[in-house]
Structure 1
Amino acid sequence: MQFKQPEILYALILLLIPIIVHLFQLRRFKKVPFTNVEFLKTVTKQTRKSRVLKKWLVLATRLLMLAAIILAFAQPFTSENEEALTESETVIYLDNSFSMQAKGDRGELMRRAVQDLLDSGYDDEVITLFTNDSEFRNVSLKSIQNELVQLDYTGSQLDYEAAVLKGKQMFSSNSERIKNLILISDFQQNREFTPANRDEQFQLKYVQLRPVSSTNISIDSAYIRDNNSNNLELKVKLKSADGSLLNLPVSLFNDDVLTAKTAVDSEENPIASFSLPKNQQINGKLSIEDVQLQFDNMLFFNIDNQEKIKVLSINQADDDFLKRIYTEPEFEYENVPFEQLNYNRISEQDLIILNELDEIPVALSNALNSFVRDRGYILIIPSNESILNSYNQLLRSVSRIYMTGFIPEEKLITRINYDHPLFEGVFDQEVSNFQYPKVKGLIRTQSQGSPVLQFEDGNPFFIQEDNVFVFTTALNEDHSNVLNSPLIVPTLYNVGLSSLKLPKLYYTIGNDIEFDVNTSIQQDDILKLGLGENQVIPQQRSFPKKVTISIGNNLQEHGIYDILRSNEVLDKVSFNYSRKESDLRYYDLSSQFGIESSDSLKITLDEIKSETEINALWKWFVIFALILLIFEMLILKFVR
């Protein structure tokens, strides 16, 4: 038996007081003459024996009653754990990512976890709880009950390792306390899981909640295919985990009005198609019906009458290949012989191409330097007779690229930087068996930029550094066969698209996003993104003829946002949640990592509570004291 207040036991010394009182409470007897002495002696002996017995019974009763009261105030208890009286802290991570929408045997996984928390009996105990996008420090469950019931799902996710580190930081600095960190999640495989190292400072407990079914159907992606001059073909790719997609209906809405409906007609190629008119603004939403996860049943997109990207080619060589690449509706292509160049037209363009100029005069170099500072893009194609000093004069002012001299050797272009942004979505896989293009010579170039294409010996063929793209050899047919290679079209086409990053069909929330708005704003003006009543101010940089908007983790909700300048809608841009959580595959913590986990939050909380649970005995001592009090009253009344 242990005591919560052992210092009160010193009060047992007070038991000496009734002992002293009873032992020294002597009574004096007065002699009274009486005729029948023999009879009187017998009665006196019997009364004295009765009083002595009564006195000792009352003394014992009072001593035991006082001792029971003192022990009750000392709060005695029994416990199986030696650390029963040690203070404890509990920090809980509750995963509220979209995958926790999946249905378990008692409803949605996150809702079940919230209900288990509220039913745990921890109502008045102080805990700390955090989710992927919110936190509640040192609160009772009772005080945050409404917030937990209204807790919403989010597309932002903490890595499991980050959740452990964040939970560890939320503990107090008191090293004497028992600390428990509980991770509640489905432990989906879309996030990397690394078992946490054993930490003596806290106990880590895993609660893995799993759905009854891993079947989920989602709208994976959408893209536009230009079919003919009158219509666009919208392709919608669907994805299923152990579910049938055949004849699944897909609905297309424009401004919340149902405009078309179709179905998937192939299991092997689960793609739905819609025909859309060209030159029509569409604020679209694609929708399917699926009872598992809800966030991936919709996909937003928008098609606008976008600004054309203005491309100016300054030529001293044939530009037919450029005319075939930079066509409408994306581009507004203009070519001009170098001798007829109007320098005032440079600032109006998005991309300037120097097509095999022999020399770049100082005036043109200065104009292009200003153009690049204002976030314009230039593409340099040198000639066979390039005067490198004039090229370097321009390159030094706009980049860290430097041309050192000609190498008159035939070279093959064999290396492709597949991770370069220019080739995003171009290749399904790395290609190793295509016919390599070749050149008859090249310009040796030093650069700290990113090589997009390289020769077999590692020398760069095509380089990007910020807004500057440079070929290291002429592209004319007398010098190379590059124009016959399938590489040249996507390379030059994507250079043109990157020169003015107009909003795409849609973006994925959580990715690093950057796009341009073709407008000019005053010094104190800002652009906003608006969705209904909510507005967000993204990071932005203003240039003379455009504003570049950058978005990291600013957005939390999917939908079609207005791009606002004051109250004027300049354009629209669509954002969708990442589909990483649509794949309902989970870690097996036990077999994969040797980690003991529970599938019940209630059991885990009961285990934590049992570690500090005690069997309080003070009530029994109070009851014992009351029984002794009654016993004393009976003695005083009935014992003579």
Structure 2
Amino acid sequence: MLLKNPQILYALFLLIIPVIVHLFQLRKFKKEQFTNVKFLKKVQLQTRKSSKIKKWLTLLARLLGLACIIFAFAQPYLPETSQSLKKKETVIYLDNSFSMQQKGKNGELLKNAIQSLLTALPEDYHFSLLTNDEIYKNTTKQELAKELQQINYSSNSPNFKTTYIKAKKVFSKHKNTLKKFVAISDFQEQNLKDLEFDAQLENTLIQLQPEKNFNISIDSVFVKDKNIENTTVQVNLSSSTATDQLFTVSLFDHHKLLAKSSVNFDDNTKANTTFSIPTSQDIKGVLAINDNSLQYDNSLYFSLQQNEKINVASISDAKDNFLKKIFNQDEFNLITTQSNQINYNKLSHQNLIILNELKSIPQGLANILSKHLENGGSLSIIPAETINEASYNRLFNALNLSRYQKKQTEELKITNINFSNIVFENVFNKKVRNFDYPKVNSHYYLNTGANQILSYNNGQPFLKQIKQVFLFTAAINKENSNFKQSPLIVPTFYNIAKQSLQLPQLYYVNENNNTIEVKVKLDKDNVIKIKDSSKTFIPLQQHFANKVNLTLQNEPKSAGNYSVIANDKTINLLSFNYNRRESKLNYANLSSYKHIKTQDSITNFFSQEINDNQMNFFWKWFVIFALLFLVIEFLFLKFLK
């Protein structure tokens, strides 16, 4: 038997007081004179003997009664289980990702879980709570009730392994405590990859399952075709299961309905539809579909706008007709000039400058190009077959580039493509290994290293990227190379120009660290703001002469259409959407994991917790015995003669 207040037992020493009072009786018998002395002596002896027995019995009842009262205040108890005696720490993870919008028997999984916690958690139960956004340490239901009711769905759905590591850090380092980790989630299979549970923790997983495993999602949208009059966008959708039911896809410009289309998934779980939009029209696009399961993926936001043209300047001593074919007037402003007719004032407004087979670099050009790169511009250098090495070295020193070395006159084929480089990223459907390789008859040796975009069959670079400089090692005129006739020529120069000014995409994903370039001139005191109908924020930004680089770190939090504000005017439209990975409703089989317990409901788990922590207190019995002994004492005094 254990005591909740063992210090109360010191009061047992006070029981000596009644014993002392009993042993040192101050009361004396009073003697009376009677004529029959013999008879009187007999009565006196009988009275003293019976009085002594009565007093001892009364003292015993009194001591037992007082002792029971003292033990009642000490609150003796026996634990229900051995776990009840251990000091415990509990960390609860509540998954508030979008997949918890699925409906169970009692409504949405997340809302039902919150209500169950508010109902089942004991009032004095101490725990720490993790969600996908917040951590609440060492709290109780009463302290956290308001925050629990305000928990909303989060686009931040980290891998469960990351969450588990975060939860383990919340526990103290005390080795003698029983550490309990409780996870409440639907446990999608994709979030449990490479997860191993710690055997030192008591891990309990409460898997909440929806009634129906069905969901329709708008996955993506892209420009399929574009001409002067119309832009055709294709919308891709997916379904968790095949169904012959028709679903309506609506296209809005903000709140204005533009068009409707229908899709079904009777053959497979993928479908698409297209919409035609006037090319001259800027729209804040919203695609919507009616689906009663997950709500977050029923809408997709995108922006179509008249993008700024990219400024390209070609300084050439060779034929540059191929550049005029690549840089069409719809997307680029191309100016061409010879090396002896350079307008240096115009160069300051260019996004990309191409030095096309210059035999000698003009002396004043190095400083202009250096400043051009500092302002965020790009540069492409194509050497001539014969160059003035001193002028090239002067330029390369100013730009901190590796120099061209000895000219090589052997024939080499361009065989290696760096598909991960920005120039060829997403250009090919698959990695091309066998095609009609272009060749060069002569080239300049350049140190090998990282960021080789195109390489010869001997491993030396044909095209290398050094920060914002794209450096060719060979002339590409028809006498020296057939590169202009190869299929690589168009994506190479087109994408070099495209990356010189990153025009806004149709949409961005919220939780990614997005970098956006805005073509605008700002005064030093002005900043760019991004706003929607309800809020405005200022992103991280880096100012250059003709553009501003925006870095959006986990902003904005909400999906939607936003405006880019500069100089109190809207200069661009941006759209943001939640990542669609929560739309894949593939739930994990928890029986395959080690060192875990599973529960089918939150209520059952905490009912078990209450039972395991139950204490059997006996103070009521001691109160009853105390009253019983007091009654016995009264009876001794009243009726014992």
1:61 offset after TM fit, Å? 2.0
Read off the aligned partner of 2:230 and give its amino acid letter.
N
Are residues 1:257 and 2:256 paired?
A: yes
Deviations, residues 86-138 of structure 1 (Å, cap 9, x unaligned): 44332222221112222233322222221221112333433321212122233
Q: Secondary structure at the match of 2:57?
A: helix
2:241 counterpart residue number: 242
Q: Aligned in 2, Cα 1:541/1:51: closer, same or farther, shift over 3 Å? A: same
Q: Is the 8 A contact 2:61 2:630 kept in 1?
A: yes
State the distance in 2 between where 1:330 and 1:627 align. 101
State the distance in 2 between where 1:552 and 1:428 align. 30
Higher mean C-alpha displacement, 544-553 vs 456-465: 456-465
Deviations, residues 145-181 of structure 1 (Å, cap 9, x unaligned): 1221121111113333332333233334555543333
State the distance in 2 between where 1:44 and 1:130 align. 83
2:68 counterpart residue number: 68
Q: Aligned in 2, Cα 1:224/1:21: closer, same or farther, shift over 3 Å? A: same
Higher mean C-alpha displacement, 575-584 vs 35-44: 35-44
Q: Aligned in 2, Cα 1:608/1:398: closer, same or farther, shift over 3 Å? A: farther
Q: Secondary structure at the match of 2:405?
A: strand
Q: Is the 8 A contact 2:522 2:567 kept in 1?
A: no
Deviations, residues 392-438 of structure 1 (Å, cap 9, x unaligned): 43233335333223222222322222222333332333233433333
Higher mean C-alpha displacement, 439-448 vs 336-345: 439-448
1:92 counterpart residue number: 92
Higher mean C-alpha displacement, 154-163 vs 191-200: 191-200
Deviations, residues 515-570 of structure 1 (Å, cap 9, x unaligned): 11111222222111112232222110001111110112132111111212364322
Are residues 1:182 and 2:186 paired?
A: no
Read off the aligned partner of 1:621 and give its amino acid letter.
F
2:79 counterpart residue number: 79
Q: Aligned in 2, Cα 1:192/1:145: closer, same or farther, shift over 3 Å? A: same
Q: Is the 8 A contact 2:80 2:611 kept in 1?
A: no
1:350 offset after TM fit, Å? 0.9
Q: Is the 8 A contact 2:197 2:596 kept in 1?
A: no
Q: Report the aligned-residue RMSD.
A: 2.7
Deviations, residues 283-337 of structure 1 (Å, cap 9, x unaligned): 1100111122111111111111221111111222222222222113221222223
Superposition map of 1:158-177 within 5 A: 158-172=158-172, 176-177=176-177
1:346 counterpart residue number: 347
Q: Is the 8 A contact 2:308 2:519 kept in 1?
A: yes
State the distance in 1 between where 2:441 and 2:222 align. 40
1:141 counterpart residue number: 141
2:419 counterpart residue number: 418
Q: Is the 8 A contact 1:590 1:596 kept in 2?
A: no
State the distance in 2 between where 1:369 and 1:187 align. 54
Q: Is the 8 A contact 1:311 1:350 kept in 2?
A: yes
Read off the aligned partner of 1:527 and give its amino acid letter.
I
Q: Aligned in 2, Cα 1:195/1:56: closer, same or farther, shift over 3 Å? A: farther
Q: Secondary structure at the match of 2:191?
A: coil
Are residues 1:226 and 2:225 paired?
A: yes
Are residues 1:438 and 2:442 paired?
A: no
Are residues 1:15 and 2:10 paired?
A: no
Q: Secondary structure at the match of 2:84?
A: coil
Q: Is the 8 A contact 1:245 1:264 kept in 2?
A: no
State the distance in 2 between where 1:207 and 1:391 align. 68
State the distance in 2 between where 1:461 and 1:214 align. 53
Are residues 1:586 and 2:587 paired?
A: yes
Q: Is the 8 A contact 1:164 1:196 kept in 2?
A: no
Read off the aligned partner of 1:548 and give its amino acid letter.
N
Higher mean C-alpha displacement, 542-551 vs 318-327: 318-327
Read off the aligned partner of 1:381 and give its amino acid letter.
I
Q: Secondary structure at the match of 1:93?
A: strand
1:630 counterpart residue number: 631
1:495 offset after TM fit, Å? 1.4
Q: Aligned in 2, Cα 1:150/1:354: closer, same or farther, shift over 3 Å? A: same
1:108 counterpart residue number: 108
State the distance in 1 between where 2:396 and 2:599 align. 63
1:532 counterpart residue number: 533
Q: Aligned in 2, Cα 1:81/1:447: closer, same or farther, shift over 3 Å? A: same
Q: Aligned in 2, Cα 1:605/1:336: closer, same or farther, shift over 3 Å? A: same
TM-score, normalized by length of structure 1? 0.92
Read off the aligned partner of 2:405 and give its amino acid letter.
T
Superposition map of 1:172-571 within 5 A: 172=172, 176-191=176-191, 193-196=193-196, 198=198, 200=200, 203-244=202-243, 247-264=246-263, 267=267, 270-446=271-447, 448-565=449-566, 567-571=568-572
State the distance in 2 between where 1:509 and 1:629 align. 76
Which runs of no fewer than 5 residues in structure 2 stay unpaired? Answer: none
2:601 counterpart residue number: 600
Higher mean C-alpha displacement, 78-87 vs 536-545: 78-87
State the distance in 1 between where 2:638 and 2:425 align. 101
Q: Is the 8 A contact 1:426 1:490 kept in 2?
A: yes
Q: Secondary structure at the match of 1:445?
A: coil
Q: Secondary structure at the match of 1:390?
A: helix
Q: Secondary structure at the match of 1:473?
A: coil
State the distance in 2 between where 1:80 and 1:497 align. 72
1:32 counterpart residue number: 32
1:125 counterpart residue number: 125
Which runs of no fewer than 5 residues in structure 1 stay unpaired? Answer: none
Q: Aligned in 2, Cα 1:621/1:568: closer, same or farther, shift over 3 Å? A: farther
Higher mean C-alpha displacement, 379-388 vs 579-588: 379-388
Q: Aligned in 2, Cα 1:617/1:405: closer, same or farther, shift over 3 Å? A: farther
Q: Secondary structure at the match of 1:264?
A: strand
Higher mean C-alpha displacement, 513-522 vs 417-426: 417-426
Read off the aligned partner of 2:578 and give its amino acid letter.
Y
Q: Aligned in 2, Cα 1:190/1:461: closer, same or farther, shift over 3 Å? A: farther
1:596 offset after TM fit, Å? 3.5
State the distance in 1 between where 2:564 and 2:633 align. 88
Higher mean C-alpha displacement, 431-440 vs 326-335: 431-440
Deviations, residues 28-70 of structure 1 (Å, cap 9, x unaligned): 3333355788987887777666645543432222122111122
Q: Aligned in 2, Cα 1:243/1:625: closer, same or farther, shift over 3 Å? A: farther
Q: Aligned in 2, Cα 1:423/1:590: closer, same or farther, shift over 3 Å? A: farther
Q: Aligned in 2, Cα 1:407/1:633: closer, same or farther, shift over 3 Å? A: farther
Q: Aligned in 2, Cα 1:573/1:245: closer, same or farther, shift over 3 Å? A: farther
State the distance in 2 between where 1:141 and 1:567 align. 47
State the distance in 1 between where 2:464 and 2:339 align. 24
Q: Aligned in 2, Cα 1:480/1:158: closer, same or farther, shift over 3 Å? A: same
Q: Secondary structure at the match of 2:246?
A: coil
State the distance in 1 between where 2:623 and 2:567 align. 74
1:451 offset after TM fit, Å? 1.4
Q: Secondary structure at the match of 2:120?
A: coil
State the distance in 2 between where 1:89 and 1:594 align. 18
Q: Is the 8 A contact 2:80 2:616 kept in 1?
A: no
Higher mean C-alpha displacement, 126-135 vs 587-596: 587-596
State the distance in 2 between where 1:545 and 1:315 align. 24
State the distance in 1 between where 2:398 and 2:345 align. 20
Q: Aligned in 2, Cα 1:159/1:310: closer, same or farther, shift over 3 Å? A: same
State the distance in 1 between where 2:5 and 2:297 align. 58
